[in-house]
Every structure is written in C-alpha cells, then in structure tokens.
C-alpha cells in the first residue's frame, strides 16, 4: 500500500499544477494542435487562443508587450542580456545574492563586450540603495534587480532602486526578476518604472516549461534566439500554446485569491517558526524582518546540519529545501549527505561555512493546511531535538568534548 501523502513545503522551488490547469493544457493539446503560424483554420484558432492568453497576462502587469519563454531563467536572460545588447558596450549591474539565472548571464554579456559587476548586499540579501548609487554611472547599460528573493524571502526596495537608476543612468535597461512575487503580491508596471520583468508559470501552480518576459512600451531588446521570427522577432520557435493557456488559467486563479493566500501563508510561516523556536531558541529567521514574501521561511538552525535534517524529515514524508533548487541536491536519498555545494546567497549575506550548512528553507502555498503545518512542525522539531542530542558538545575553548 502507498504511504501517506507527503507534506510538501518546497513551493518556492515548484508548485503543484492546479487540476483546472492540467485540464486546460490537455484540452489545448488535443483541440488546438495547429501551429499558430499556419495560415489555415487550425492555425488561426491556435493563434487566437495564444493571443488571448498573451493579452490576459499582459493586463495582469499593465505591460505593453509579453514575450513567451520557456520559463523564468530564459526570461531573465532575454531581459538582461537582450536589454544590454541593444546598447553600446558598458557595465551591467546585479547583486551577489541574485538567482543563478541572473548571475550566469555574465558569459553571454561578455560576448557583447559588456562587463558585469555583482554588488555586495545587506545581511538580508538585498541591495542597499547607497551601494547601488555608488556603482551607477553613464556607462551602465543594464541593471538586474530581484523583487522577492527566492531563498531568503526578502523584498527589495524596488521603487527606491529604480529611481536611483533613472537618475544616474537614465539610458540603462532595468530588468526585474518577478518569479517569486508574481501571484503572491500585487506588482504592476504602474508601480515601478522598469523596462522588463520575468515570470515563471510553475511557481504559481501553472505548467512547467513556460514563462514570459513582460515589457514596457519603451523597452529596447536585441533578440537572442530569432529563429523563425515568432514573438515579434524576440524569441523564435513554435510557441508553447498549451503552456501559455495553462499559465493563463493559473494566473486567473492565484490573482483572484492573492490577498487571502498571502495572509494564509504568512501565518503558516510564523506558526512553523514559533514551533522551531520552542525547541531551539537560537534559531533565527533569515531575510528582512518586515520586507519579505509571505510564503518563504528561511531558517538558520545553529548546531543542526540542514541536509541531514532534510533527509530525516523526507524519510517521514515532510519535504523542504536547504536552498534554491538551482544549487543541486548532493547526496542520495537515505544516505548521508555529500559535501555541501557552495551557496553563494548565504555567503553573500555573511554566513560562515559552518552556518551555511545549518540553513533550511520551507515555503508554503494556499493548498498547505494548518493541520499539515502542525504535523510538519512536530516532525521537524522532533528531528531537530534528536540531532541536537546526538551532536558533539563543544567546550568553551571551542574543542569537541567526547
């Protein structure tokens, strides 16, 4: 017989697609299989459905245009590199704590003779406006910003940062990673003077393999993959129509429940944190104490190896992360964890190599119930207590006591 359904607390990595999304994708696969670029009737029906999805998603952000991509990483690359490549060689600014999808654009940017600078961040993982201002200049061609941090949950001071860019580098392309924020908190182009934002469907109960780059009316981009000229020449290749429709259906649902879900997930995070603090008073919540995403709980657990805790809880059907999925998962299920990979985010906020190993990330969704949170908290605290009891005690001089 199958075991109990796992309690899934890794929604920042990916979310379960809604049943209505699965149905919409399946229906589109069967009924709208025509190529949107074909001139016949089946192509016309597919094209009309694609444009309906595009128009709806464009309206959710008040954008001028929407370019469909394979997900958030491609949207980040197109926004940052495409925006910089449309300008003369210069500097591109980002943060040391940014998602790998942003930081790893450095190689592409260098092909267009742009120099990348990753700026230091605060202890909460966000850019200090003074640090950004000090790095700005007329030679800055693009600035990449994260609105909500995927590991720490910190919300950036986006309006302040964008205002500084517009003042000191008015010709720069401003790109924002909105992957963790879209569907969680209200954000539109009317709220901030940016050029592009990246969104990923599977982060808000949509299908995998689909995302979009939303653009302002004045955004200038160079295509990185022109291919057949689809997406107004900015992203070639036959469009993923079922994915676009599924993403539209998911967006309609999450945006209509956005406020209630934010309250619900924030309460679950506080509930779990309180439970952990009862058995480990030294535990602390990472990220900004006030400016933060409601659904992410990043914890530093002194004396507890996060990967060991993750494996033990996973064996008891409680699933969470020790960092972003892009860092990889060392070790195999049921065994001892291998050497932890370097976590650039935790290093950027000043954690030493011991503290980096003691961090876990739990993330919630509307489907997470209070009962599940309580059950997960019971498992989590039991395993934390066991690991603390098994850990070697340290003397005041720092040496291990046998």
pLDDT greater than 50 at residue 288: yes
CA 382, 317, 310, 100 torsion-angle sign: negative
> What is the token pair recorded at 377?
């908290």
Write down the pLDDT at residue 393: 57
Q: Number of C-alpha atoms within 13 angstroms, CB side, residue 386?
A: 10
Backbone angles phi, psi at 84, to 5 degrees: -70, -40
**How many domains does the chain divide into?**
2
Q: Which residue has the higher pLDDT, 83 or 328?
A: 83
Q: Is 326 a catalytic residue?
A: yes
Q: Single out the catalytic residue among 26, 48, 64, 326.
A: 326
One domain, residues 251 and 392 = no
Residue 293 placed within a domain = yes
- The residue-averaged pLDDT of 263-291 equals 97
Are 17 and 250 a contacting pair, CB within 8 Å?
yes
Q: What is the pLDDT of residue 227?
A: 86
328 with 388, same domain? yes
Say whether both 205 and 320 belong to one domain.
Answer: no
Token duo for residue 379: 């498992």
Reply yes or no on whether the pLDDT at 336 is more than 90.
no
Residue whose tokens read 């128009």: 55
Domain that holds residue 249: 19-255
Task: Answer yes or no: do 23 and 126 share one domain.
Answer: yes
* Structural domain ending residue among the three candidates 193, 224, 255: 255
pTM, 2 dp: 0.91
> Residue 275: pLDDT above 80?
yes
CATH number for the domain harbouring residue 352: 3.90.1150.10
The predicted-structure confidence for 248-272, as pLDDT tens digits, reads as follows 999 999 999 999 999 999 999 999 9
Q: Are 150 and 346 in contact (CB under 8 A)?
A: no
At residue 385 the predicted structure's pLDDT band, cuts being 50, 70 and 90, is very high
Instruction: Note whether 378 and 277 are same-domain residues.
Output: yes
Q: Give the pLDDT confidence score for residue 338 in this predicted structure.
A: 44
* Percentage with pLDDT > 70 across the chain: 92
* Residue 2 is assigned to a structural domain of this protein: no
What CATH number has the domain bearing residue 183? 3.40.640.10
Given a cut of 50, whether residue 94 has pLDDT beyond it is yes
Euclidean distance between CA atoms 34 and 44, whole angstroms: 8
How confident is the model over 47-72, as pLDDT tens digits?
Answer: 999 999 999 999 999 999 999 999 99
- Please name the helix (run of DSSP H) or strand (run of DSSP E) that holds residue 140, with its range, or none: strand 140-146
In a domain, 346, yes or no: yes
What is the largest distance, in Å, between two alpha-carbon atoms of the chain? Answer: 79
Q: Check whether residue 33 and residue 101 sit in a common domain.
A: yes
The arithmetic mean of pLDDT across residues 358-366, rounded, is: 98
Mean pLDDT of the chain: 92
The answer to whether residue 3 scores a pLDDT higher than 90 is no
């Amino acid at each position: 017989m199958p075991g109990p359904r796992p309690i899934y607390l890794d929604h920042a990595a990916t979310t379960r697609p809604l049943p209505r999304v699965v149905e919409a994708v399946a229906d589109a696969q069967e009924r709208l299989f025509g190529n949107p670029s074909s001139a016949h009737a089946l192509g016309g029906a597919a094209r009309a459905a694609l444009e309906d999805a595009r128009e709806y998603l464009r309206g959710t952000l008040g954008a001028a245009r929407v370019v469909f991509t394979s997900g958030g990483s491609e949207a980040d690359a197109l926004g940052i590199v495409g925006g910089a490549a449309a300008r003369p060689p210069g500097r591109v600014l980002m943060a040391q704590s940014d998602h790998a999808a942003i930081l790893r654009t450095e190689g592409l940017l260098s092909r267009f003779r742009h120099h990348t600078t990753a700026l230091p961040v605060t202890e909460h993982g966000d850019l200090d406006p003074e640090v950004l201002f000090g790095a700005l200049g007329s030679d800055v061609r693009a600035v990449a910003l994260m609105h909500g941090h995927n590991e720490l949950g910190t919300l950036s001071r986006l309006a302040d940062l964008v205002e500084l860019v517009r003042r000191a580098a008015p010709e720069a392309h401003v790109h924002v990673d909105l992957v963790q924020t879209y569907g969680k908190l209200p954000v539109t182009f009317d709220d901030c003077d940016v050029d592009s934002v990246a969104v990923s469907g599977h982060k808000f109960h949509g299908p995998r393999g689909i995302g979009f780059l939303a653009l302002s009316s004045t955004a200038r981009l160079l295509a990185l993959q022109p291919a057949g000229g689809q997406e107004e020449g900015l992203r070639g290749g036959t469009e993923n129509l079922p994915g676009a429709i599924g993403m539209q259906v998911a967006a309609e649902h999450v945006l209509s429940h956005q406020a209630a879900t934010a309250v619900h997930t924030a309460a679950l995070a506080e509930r779990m944190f309180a439970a952990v603090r009862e058995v480990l008073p030294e535990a602390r919540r990472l990220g900004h104490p006030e400016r933060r995403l409601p659904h992410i709980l990043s914890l530093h657990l002194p004396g507890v190896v996060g990967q060991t805790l993750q494996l033990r809880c996973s064996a008891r059907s409680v699933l969470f992360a020790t960092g972003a999925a892009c860092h990889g998962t060392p070790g195999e299920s049921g065994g001892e964890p291998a050497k932890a990979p370097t976590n650039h985010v935790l290093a950027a906020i000043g954690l030493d190599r011991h503290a980096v190993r003691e961090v876990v990330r739990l993330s919630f969704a509307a489907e997470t119930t209070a009962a599940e949170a309580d059950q997960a908290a019971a498992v989590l605290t039991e395993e934390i207590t066991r690991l603390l009891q098994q850990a070697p005690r340290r003397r005041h001089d720092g040496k291990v006591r046998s």
